[in-house]
Structure 1
Amino acid sequence: MTEAEPAELVLRDLIDALLQENLYGVADALLVDTPAPRPEGGLAAGERWCRIPLPDGWLAFRGRDGGGLQAYRLSRAPVWHGSAHVEPQTVGPDEVLTLLTRLQHESGATQAIAADLRAAVVHTGTTLADWAGLPDRSPRPGSMLAAERMAATRNRPFHPTARAVGGWSATELSRYGPMRRGALGMPWIAVRRERLRHGSGEDSHRLEHLVLDDVDLGLLAGAARHAGVSFDDYQPLPVHPWQAEHVLPELYASELARRDVVPLARDLGRCHATSSLRTLITCPEAERHLKLPLGVATLGAARLLPPRYLDNAERAERTMRQLIERDDGLRELVMLCDENTWCGWRDPVGGDEFDDRPGQLAAQIRRYPAGVLDAEALVLPMAALAAHEWPILETALAAAGFTDPVAFFRALAEAFCSLAFGFLRYGVLPELHGQNVLVMLANGRVTQFVLRDHDTLRLYPEWLRAAGVPDPGYRIKPGAPQSLHLSSAEELLGYAQTLGFQVNLYGIADAMVRHYGIDELTLWHELRESIAAGVGVLPAHVAELVSSQVLRAPEWPSRQVLGPLLRRGRSAGVSMPASAGRVPNPLLAAQRVRTVVG
């Protein structure tokens, strides 16, 4: 396929989300096989002219079959706006949104999301240009950096604003983002120890020894002496350089004045940003990453690091380790990052532990399991496989023993179902989107998965109790909306269907379809067969749930992101705006096609 322009990449996700979520009734009102908006407009094979009626005209675009989850999707740019009295003009993503929201007299959130769409176009161009200029873009054993960078070219599949970093300019994205060529040095501060809370990891009180070499440790100690700081009373902490310049001086002004927080040194330690921006690969690369808060927004949510989330992640990790220890299948297939080493700001007595302000000043060391950087295995976040970079990926996968794309997807889907159902049977489910799940590939096999970011382990308490595993005891703000403790097994399974199948695996399938020209329903069929195989080894009550809700139900739950973003606006907190919808069961369409062909 030819490379799409940044505006087209954002338009794809926007038009597809509008149609799938049926926002403003656009899917119901969609007209198909309409006249071309301009006389010179042509159609490629499989394309159809589509129009969305507006009170003062229409939006027109080339549509195509929508595959398993919706009737139509955008085939390619541009999108035109016209009427009986106005010559059609091409419009960008932000203009499409503004024209459509006139139907609903939308609130001020529309302007903010339109700005995010404009930023998404600019930031997509910046990211792809910086990516193209990198000297080594191929993922390889022994390193995660190239794969993290590749994942950043796509970011969260199907989310219209995923490529935008709210609060950063294009220059700042190049300076601090994952495509930066050189390693980034960190500013360091000292924080009074009584103003910090810590993780259970034994190194939580001495993070500097996990990040800095002996030379930088000496420089840090010298800076502390110069500032009149004793490490008996203060703990040194790294801060993201953007955060140190733009957030801490204002948000922690009183603490800086009281010397509860003391600046020490700049440019100590070396790190590369990952696709999540706030997580950094230490340099030289080792099996530990540094995670720092950032006062910017992606996916409509702030990239903070609240200590209560770090604490909940520890609790979730303990629960998963208990399950892995007792289950031979999980023990063979799954490894967990150690996320117990952290510290974060603690407000004085009387402060609100659920306030997001402490999330602006924290740090975590994520330890990967020993052997992850083994020279024999290709390790990459599954999000990298959803990037539209398959000319590079297929070479890396061939070196790992995969040469048939459909067979690769089948192997990946089978292993992924074993991962999801292996936890589901006990009443828990990790958040299985492509940023949180790393896959290890070697000798033509999916050898293992590595899970990270444990703070959203969802659970159905009844099944967890039946398994004899204690509730993790999450700290959740009373009365606040939450999705960790769920009231039914169906709801828990729904997160496998949405984040696991529709975001993660379908994101990969979509990228493969665009590169190889595979029929999308072929890959849905491979997923169906993988699910059916996985059901066969589950306890009867779990097997029946999966069979009825995933294989036989006419509809699946879906994850809606654009509607909630427009209704609520950008979140001031750390949770991405989202809600539940319904989509056709794509496995039924795949089964029908296979039956007809067969």
Structure 2
Amino acid sequence: MHRPPTAEAEVAAELAAVRPGLVPRYAAGLPGARAAVLARLWRALAYEPLPWVAGRASGREGLTLRLSDGRRLHGPHADPYATGAYVTAVRLDGVSYDDPARLLTDLGVPHGTGFAAELGHSVASLALSRAGQEDRSQEWPVHDWEWEQGVVDGHPYHPNCRSRPGFSVAEQLAYGPEHRPVVELGLVPVPAAECLVTGGWPDELRYGERLLLPVHPWQAEHVLKRPYDGGLAAHPLMSLRTLALPGGPHVKTALSARLTSSVRDISVYSIGLSATLSEFAEALAARTDGLLHVTRTLGAATANSPDLAAVLRESPQVYGDRVVPVAALATTGLPDDPAWLADFTRLALAVGLRLLELGVALEAHGQNLLVVLSASGAPLRLVYRDLADIRVSPVRLARRGIPVPELTGRIVTDDETTLRRKLFGSLVAGALAGTAGSAAALRGALETAVRELPRTPDLVALCEEPLPAKALTLMRLSPGTPGDQWAQLPNPLSWRAL
């Protein structure tokens, strides 16, 4: 029976046409990319509440999953906080699989066909991302975008860490931050009367009675399908749709493509709240004794469409000479020092828990959270960016005598579980775990850090309850279920759990 070409083969063929010199490195990188994605998938199979996993049993030789149809899936013990490609193969009823896409296809689970295709693209794109890397300089980066472009492998725990459906190989090379391109943003003129604008909109992005909205070239070609004027030369950051203007602000553009889990457009709702949130967050950060800065939103505009909108945000680099996204810390070697990791963990938890106590849960994953380092590399303070997915509790704010901003919609909640999931899932199970790289390293850092923190109810919950994490694979396999779904990971502070 004729089988369609795999994503790996499709990317190889396109690469041979547009960048033939990378083909050997791409091919050599495929086994490592498969292992990296398989390790992320195995974490999900081991810990997420997948309805077709009937049971899990750990033994001396690893972990065995009993599927609802009676089959057995066996692999190594799963470290929920590991970031390495430690899973090279698993066995389904005795048959070995080293390819995550083929494994998911043969599992035959509901909605698995589309996700299997995404896994195949994730493997191929990851191998492509690695193939384009040059020897790393021993000097620390100077520009903010250079830190961001050093994050090659994407999300540390999502099996779709590098899935970019809808992007050709040429487009990945032209727009992917790990390939270090300069991207020419388009400027689409829209009548100002037809736009929602919050904050200020700069004069240089106005033309008479029209606003000039920055547009990503992929969006212009594939979604808007309309001409645009000459644009702005910018450097893509790790989110791909946000770019840095040299010497200027960061520009968040709409990108109506599914990257990892979500379509990256910009809702009219978020544009409407952006100025209020920015002012509120700046005032709240002042209550952290200088330990936190929040990048200001300079202006936001939309042509009343999530497909045509942009946000201008100040660069985190205005808050220090060396401001590093947490996702890039692994490239510095600093987290290898347990004392440094404990200091950073203490700083991050102190700020995150303080804001949670006041009434704000940050989405403090490794992309949104940055750390200001001293000349010697010591963590001094934090910078947070992108307020679109924080959660705000009016009850907690009022309890502390803080004026409640005029906010509506999903951002507003007093539900304790929702607030803690937002912070603990992003900061501890995300940013801190990804920086530590293993359960043992995370546990050591947390044990040191929590001793010096105020014993609030939130801290007690963090120390004693299972750690929430987004069930990223379950969410991709549940297209009819909106919103986040959650897994409960073993608490790294519990020896028995691990």
TM-score (norm 1): 0.72
CA distance, structure 1, for counterparts of residue 74 and residue 290 of structure 2: 51
SS at match of 1:501: helix
SS at match of 1:473: coil
What does 1:270-289 correspond to in 2, within 5 Å?
Answer: 270-282=233-245, 285-289=246-250
Counterpart of 1:76, as a letter, is V
Q: Does 1:589 align with 2:490?
A: no
SS at match of 2:407: coil
Say how many residue pairs are matched.
467
Post-superposition offset of 1:370: 6.8
- In structure 2, relative to structure 1, the CA distance for the partners of 1:324 and 1:76 (3 Å cut) is closer
Post-superposition offset of 1:158: 1.0
- In structure 2, relative to structure 1, the CA distance for the partners of 1:459 and 1:272 (3 Å cut) is same
Post-superposition offset of 1:27: 7.4
CA distance, structure 1, for counterparts of residue 389 and residue 70 of structure 2: 45
CA distance, structure 1, for counterparts of residue 228 and residue 486 of structure 2: 47
Structure-2 residue corresponding to 1:302: 263
Instruction: Give aligned-pair identity as a percent.
Output: 23
1:579 pairs with one of 473, 481, 485: 485
Structure-2 residue corresponding to 1:42: none
Post-superposition offset of 1:331: 4.0
CA distance, structure 1, for counterparts of residue 475 and residue 490 of structure 2: 21
Structure-1 residue corresponding to 2:205: 208
SS at match of 2:127: helix
Q: Does 1:533 align with 2:452?
A: yes
Structure-2 residue corresponding to 1:218: none
Cα offsets for 1:451-503 (capped at 9, x unmatched): 11011221222110122223232242xxxxx3x22233454233222111011
SS at match of 1:474: coil
Structure-2 residue corresponding to 1:8: 35
CA distance, structure 1, for counterparts of residue 166 and residue 127 of structure 2: 17
CA distance, structure 1, for counterparts of residue 252 and residue 137 of structure 2: 23
- In structure 2, relative to structure 1, the CA distance for the partners of 1:579 and 1:370 (3 Å cut) is closer
Give 1 or 2 for the bigger CA radius of gyration. 1
Structure-2 residue corresponding to 1:236: 212
Cα offsets for 1:26-68 (capped at 9, x unmatched): 47244645xxxxxxxxxxxxxx35544565854443x136367
SS at match of 2:340: helix
Counterpart of 2:478, as a letter, is R
Structure-1 residue corresponding to 2:345: 413
Structure-1 residue corresponding to 2:433: 506
2:368 pairs with one of 436, 442, 447: 436
CA distance, structure 2, for counterparts of residue 77 and residue 98 of structure 1: 18
TM-score (norm 2): 0.85
Structure-2 residue corresponding to 1:97: 104
Counterpart of 2:198, as a letter, is G
Cα offsets for 1:51-105 (capped at 9, x unmatched): 44565854443x1363679xxx98421234455xxxx353521222233344xxx
Post-superposition offset of 1:294: 1.0
CA distance, structure 2, for counterparts of residue 569 and residue 144 of structure 1: 39
What does 1:131-142 correspond to in 2, within 5 Å?
Answer: 132-133=133-134, 140=140, 142=142
Structure-2 residue corresponding to 1:336: 294
Contact 1:186–1:241 (CA<8 Å) still a contact in 2? yes
SS at match of 2:488: strand
Gaps of 5+ in 2: 1-27
CA distance, structure 2, for counterparts of residue 138 and residue 436 of structure 1: 25
- In structure 2, relative to structure 1, the CA distance for the partners of 1:569 and 1:275 (3 Å cut) is farther
CA distance, structure 2, for counterparts of residue 439 and residue 545 of structure 1: 26
Structure-1 residue corresponding to 2:252: 291
CA distance, structure 2, for counterparts of residue 207 and residue 300 of structure 1: 35
Structure-2 residue corresponding to 1:265: 229
Contact 1:149–1:275 (CA<8 Å) still a contact in 2? yes
Cα RMSD (Å): 2.9
CA distance, structure 1, for counterparts of residue 63 and residue 184 of structure 2: 50
Counterpart of 2:38, as a letter, is L
Contact 2:71–2:93 (CA<8 Å) still a contact in 1? yes
SS at match of 2:140: coil
Counterpart of 1:508, as a letter, is T
CA distance, structure 2, for counterparts of residue 264 and residue 65 of structure 1: 49
Structure-2 residue corresponding to 1:352: none
Counterpart of 1:64, as a letter, is H
Q: Does 1:23 align with 2:50?
A: yes
SS at match of 2:458: helix
Post-superposition offset of 1:184: 1.8
Cα offsets for 1:85-126 (capped at 9, x unmatched): xxx353521222233344xxx1xx322211111110111111
- In structure 2, relative to structure 1, the CA distance for the partners of 1:111 and 1:338 (3 Å cut) is same
CA distance, structure 1, for counterparts of residue 217 and residue 145 of structure 2: 20
Cα offsets for 1:531-562 (capped at 9, x unmatched): 23122xxxxxxx34034312234x33332221
Cα offsets for 1:278-297 (capped at 9, x unmatched): 10111xx3252112111211
Q: Does 1:345 align with 2:284?
A: no
CA distance, structure 2, for counterparts of residue 360 and residue 139 of structure 1: 39
Cα offsets for 1:181-237 (capped at 9, x unmatched): 441222222111111111222xx153538xxxxxxxxxxxxxxxxxxxxx3222223
CA distance, structure 2, for counterparts of residue 449 and residue 383 of structure 1: 13
Structure-2 residue corresponding to 1:360: 307
- In structure 2, relative to structure 1, the CA distance for the partners of 1:155 and 1:138 (3 Å cut) is farther
Contact 2:189–2:228 (CA<8 Å) still a contact in 1? yes
